[in-house]
Structure 1
Amino acid sequence: MAKYQDRLDSIKKNYGTLTKASGEVGKDFLAMHAAALEDGAISHKNKELMCLCVAISIRCEGCILDHLNNAIEAGAAREEIVEAVNTAILMSGGPAYVYGGTALEAMDELLK
């Protein structure tokens, strides 16, 4: 069962719909998003892991799936993702523990 992949596909579809509907605002947001996550002093992979921490902390499942997938595509290993989840738990406590579990469950599906 690919429930997280289906959710991720839906999120990506929604991004396209919103970007088209929002015009310049959507284009500008995506440009900022791409520029902020480029390799620099901090690698793209590590920036995606940072985004995953924030996504878990603010309890945004769509953000978790998107940045988890991006981190995996950028070469993040399972151990790095688990440490990112642990860092989010440190900073956000119980709610991050719940959403961190969601991130690990999704990781297991997306890494197959």
Structure 2
Amino acid sequence: MSLVKEFNDYREKMNDVILEKENKTLKRFFSLDHQAYAEGALPVKTKELMGLVASMVLRCDDCIKYHLGTCYEIGVTTEELYEVFSIANLVGGSICIPHTRRAAEYWEELKSS
């Protein structure tokens, strides 16, 4: 199974499990997260790239994969992505390098699917 399919299947399954519990706070948080990345004063592309940088600096591989998937869907180029990687590594330091490797691997998988 591909990295992308495995991640998306697991994410969808577990989000369904979480949301079916009808916890109002969690449902509101999921909604707020979705709304924050909608078109506004900043375009969606900018928000996704910002989310990717933050995810890399915070070292959240699941978040990185999510933002990479969305970036791929909205047409972010490889050149743009690697500029994001450079900012994340500059801000986060060398601890971000392993996450950059995994992000690059995931991006290559997205491009090949």
**Does the pair score TM above 0.5?**
yes
Query: What is the Cα deviation at residue 9 of structure 1?
Result: 2.1
Quote the RMSD (CA, aligned, Å). Answer: 1.5
The reply on whether 1:14 has 2:20 as its aligned counterpart is no
Tell me how many residue pairs correspond in the alignment. Answer: 112
1:22 to 1:102, Cα distance in 2 relative to 1, 3 A = farther
1:105 maps to amino acid: E
In structure 2, the partner of 1:26 is 26
TM-score (norm 1): 0.89
SS in 2 for 1:42: coil
User: 5+ residue gaps in structure 1?
Assistant: none
Within 5 Å, give how 1:58-69 maps onto structure 2.
Answer: 58-69=58-69
Query: What is the Cα deviation at residue 22 of structure 1?
Result: 5.0
Query: What is the Cα deviation at residue 42 of structure 1?
Result: 1.3
In structure 2, the partner of 1:104 is 104
User: 5+ residue gaps in structure 2?
Assistant: none
Residue deviations 1:32-84 (CA, integer Å, cap 9, x gap): 11211111121111111111111111111111111110111122111111111
Fraction of identical pairs, as percent: 29
TM-score (norm 2): 0.89
The whole-number CA distance in structure 1 between the counterparts of 2:81 and 2:17 is 29
1:86 to 1:22, Cα distance in 2 relative to 1, 3 A = farther
The whole-number CA distance in structure 1 between the counterparts of 2:27 and 2:63 is 18
